[in-house]
Chains A and B, each alone.
Chain A
């Protein structure tokens, strides 16, 4: 488990990480989410003992990173795939890492095999594509077979094939019962990969919850119902104190939306009790993007010009048509 308490990092007058407290729970993939410049990388560097916090601290299973004896067997990390000597072969790169933690030579071959670099292991790392470098970085993280893994923006700049590979790899690691903390500014990516989310903006914690909860809390859920007896159903639901509205949706005719704290179970049962025919009953979630934009809206460090920001807002409207999203960022936790 990784535990941060009041973690703060100041560079002169700039506060990169501001009184950040969170827990990374064992055996899960936790997404570390925030806009560019929110302090994700700085936080990860502090976890790994590379940067010293101005105040507060972060511990791995109760220990500071700098006190770990063979850290690679406890926590593996890929912060930057470029951190290899371009004239050194992948095998030699992993060999010195293995030697530093007294790992057997076989661990190098195992790690290379795991990321599929065996055939190019003796080539110099400088000739690798970004995708291959990323794989080498992951091999380095897995070298000591650690229970905790840290990845900083692992899909950044990768082609679709590379992205899919990383994504499946993360799931595999989580299935093996490892703790994974993966940072990203790509929310859709996190929705696919992470169970838990730690959301930060401008160095401050915005939310820590499960991914589902985060989306629910931020943009709420809506139940969409299609039925030939819409008016009758609306009456029934209104009697149950539910907020409903009927809209004309293109190609689907009239559609009933039920908002607020409800489930498809409740509505299905209510309809069945009255003998109302249903053609569709679906729970619609707000997208992670919408939730994220809404929660971090105030904390994006470098705002675009207004017009561009406006365009971004339009694209960020959740696919739930007409779903009202609560205005203003919520301060959670």
Chain B
């Protein structure tokens, strides 16, 4: 798998991916410290695993930025041409990049979620933070899958947009703003929001959790594993479009 080696060397031979990964891990763990560290008395008793994870979405964004940059910087500096010259089988090369970036994002997702859970355990005494329901395992371990799949989406957007600022704007505005704005549209808005890709990513993680202090969450369009499949379907579809477009376009 030479394309994996190629993309691994590329990614680790510049500094910004390292920074993104460190920032991503630190954000989730740091937020967990903030949300659990100041709990007192009765609130402390009500702490759940869920409240150790509020920083995860932010970390997910950071990893998406890293994933998009892994593509767009190649376009910006022209190395994509050197890459296509070295490996004219563009689909294989870009799949290699996607695999490397998604794997790393997944690992960072796991470090972030379990790290945050560990910090929560340190700060909270008296509440039960042990992982003992399948839903709790899904929340923590599933973070790895969600990070990896959102990295795939980010790579696809990066390939399609080819430009850092544009790709990052889409990747941040879409999950944070656009999907929430759907709710404001009368009649169809609720359905649109529920069927949005990132909403289903969250729904995979959140269903069946003890939200505790965080209050209740909205309705879900489908069960957790179907939601994950649906999110994965979006990632696969976007990546397919991106790969077809990259193969046809002039580099």
Q: Which residues of A contact B (CB under 8 A)?
A: 45, 48-52, 65-68, 71-72, 77, 79-80, 82-89, 92-93, 95-97, 99-102, 140
Contacts of A79 in B (CB 8 A): 81
Contacts of B13 in A (CB 8 A): 85, 88-89, 92-93, 95-96
Inter-chain contact B9/A84, CB cutoff 8 Å: no
19 new A-B contacts at CB < 8 Å, known A100-B87, A102-B2: A49-B85, A50-B85, A66-B88, A72-B85, A72-B86, A80-B81, A83-B79, A84-B77, A84-B78, A84-B79, A85-B77, A88-B10, A88-B14, A96-B7, A97-B86, A99-B6, A100-B2, A100-B86, A140-B82
Cβ–Cβ < 8 Å partners of A93 in chain B? 13
Give 5 nearest A-B pairs by CB, closest first.
Answer: A92-B13, A83-B78, A100-B86, A96-B9, A51-B250
Q: Which A residues lie within 8 Å of B248 (CB)?
A: 52
- Number of residue pairs A-B, CB distance < 8 angstroms: 85
Least CB separation from B16: chain A residue: A87
Least Cβ–Cβ distance between B72 and chain A, in angstroms: 12
Residue B114 CB within 8 A of the other chain: no
Whether A71 contacts B250 by the Cβ 8 Å rule is no
Q: Shortest distance in angstroms between B73's beta carbon and chain A's nearest beta carbon?
A: 7
* A to B CB contacts below 8 Å, 28 in the list: A50-B250, A51-B251, A72-B85, A77-B85, A79-B81, A82-B77, A82-B78, A83-B78, A83-B81, A84-B77, A84-B78, A85-B13, A86-B77, A87-B14, A88-B13, A88-B14, A89-B13, A95-B9, A95-B13, A96-B5, A96-B6, A96-B9, A97-B82, A99-B6, A100-B3, A100-B83, A101-B2, A101-B86
Contact partners of B83 in chain A: CB under 8 A: 100
By beta carbon, the residue of chain A nearest B12 is: A92
How far does the alpha carbon of A96 sit from the alpha carbon of B7 in the complex, in Å?
8
Q: Is B174 an interface residue (CB 8 A)?
A: no
Chain B 23-39 interface mask (CB, 8 Å, partner A; 1/0): 00000000000000000
B84 touches A80 (CB 8 A): no
Contacts of A89 in B (CB 8 A): 13
Q: Tell whether, in the assembled complex, residue B88 and residue A87 are in contact, meaning their CB atoms are under 8 Å apart.
A: no
Cβ of B15 < 8 Å from any Cβ of A?
yes
Complex contacts, B84 vs chain A, CB 8 Å: 49-50
User: In whole angstroms, how far apart are the Cα atoms of A45 and B86 in the complex?
Assistant: 13
Report how far A92 CA is from B13 CA in the complex, Å.
6
Interface centre among A52, A85, A86, A101 (most CB of B within 10 A): A85
A48–B15 contact, CB under 8 A?
Answer: no
If over half of B's interface residues share one DSSP class (helix, strand or loop), that class is named, otherwise mixed; here it is helix
A99 to B3, CA, bound (A): 8
Contacts of A84 in B (CB 8 A): 77-79, 82
CA gap between A84 and B13 in the complex, in Å: 12
Q: In the complex the two chains form, is B85's CB within 8 Å of A71's CB?
A: yes
- Give every chain A residue within 8 A of B7 (Cβ-Cβ): 96
Bitwise, B101-114 to A at CB < 8 A (1) or not (0) is 00000000000000
CB nearest to B73 among chain A residues: A85
Please give the distance in Å from B250's CB to the nearest CB on chain A.
4
Interfacial chain B residues near A45, Cβ < 8 Å: 81, 250-251
CA distance A96 to B16 in the complex (A): 18
Q: Which single residue of chain B is at the shortest CB-CB distance from A46? A: B250
CA distance A20 to B136 in the complex (A): 65
CA gap between A96 and B81 in the complex, in Å: 14
Q: Give the docked Cα–Cα distance between A312 and B5 (Å).
A: 53
Q: Tell me the smallest distance from the CB of B69 to a CB of chain A, in Å.
A: 11
Give the interface centre of B2, B82, B93, B248 by most chain A CB atoms within 10 Å.
B82
Instruction: Give chain A residues whose Cβ lies under 8 Å from the Cβ of B86.
Output: 71-72, 97, 100-101
A199 to chain B, nearest CB (A): 25
- Which single residue of chain A is at the shortest CB-CB distance from B74? A85
By a CB distance below 8 angstroms, the chain B residues around A65 are: 88
Residue of B nearest to A144 (CB): B86
Residues of B within 8 A of A51 (CB): 250-251
A100 cross-chain contacts in B, Cβ below 8 A = 2-3, 6, 83, 86-87, 93
Q: Name the residue on B nearest A97 (C-beta).
A: B86
CA distance A84 to B85 in the complex (A): 13
Q: How far is the CA of A36 from the CA of B233 in the complex (A)?
A: 48
Task: Give B247 Cβ to nearest chain A Cβ, in Å.
Answer: 9
> Closest Cβ of chain B: how far from A122's Cβ, in Å?
11
| Residues on A with beta carbons closer than 8 Å to the beta carbon of B14 | 85, 87-88
Chain A residues within 8 Å of B77, by CB: 82-86
